[in-house]
Amino acid sequence: MLYRQTQAKLTQLTQALQEANLWSEQAPSLDAMASTAPFACDLMPLEQWLQFVLLPKMRNLIDAAAPLPTQIAIAPMAEHVWLNMPLRQNLISVLNELDMLLNESR
């Protein structure tokens, strides 16, 4: 059940990124992908981290039936990065729902 709900949130996140015109056809550089900073914030924008790091990792966990994270806080970072950007509120809402879903699964 949790996997199905999480997959639905990931699909919503993908759609929200596309609707906000934040979906990228080009992956970040290998250096950016190797970043060890939270959200790779030193080398890529949050929307790229969501698309190229979070979404694939979460889908891999679901496909492998591996444990999903139970302490996650992506929405606060999105609120910080996208402060005063009303067109990004749908993205923040989806991230908040994902945070709550996974945090309540503990």
* Whole-number pLDDT of residue 13: 97
Burial string for 5-32 (b: 16+ CB within 10 Å, else e) reads: ebeebbebbeebbeebebeeeeebeeeb
* Whole-number pLDDT of residue 106: 67
Nearest CA-CA partner of 54 in 66, 76, 72, 80: 72
What is the per-residue pLDDT across 7-44, written as a single tens digit (0 to 9) for each? 999 999 999 999 999 999 999 999 999 999 999 999 99
Mean pLDDT along residues 58-72: 96
Q: What is the mean pLDDT of the chain?
A: 94
- Confidence bin at 105 (pLDDT 50/70/90): confident
Domains of the chain as residue ranges with CATH: 2-23+37-103 (1.20.1440.40)
What does the alpha-carbon distance between residue 67 and residue 17 come to, in Å, rounded to a whole number?
Answer: 25
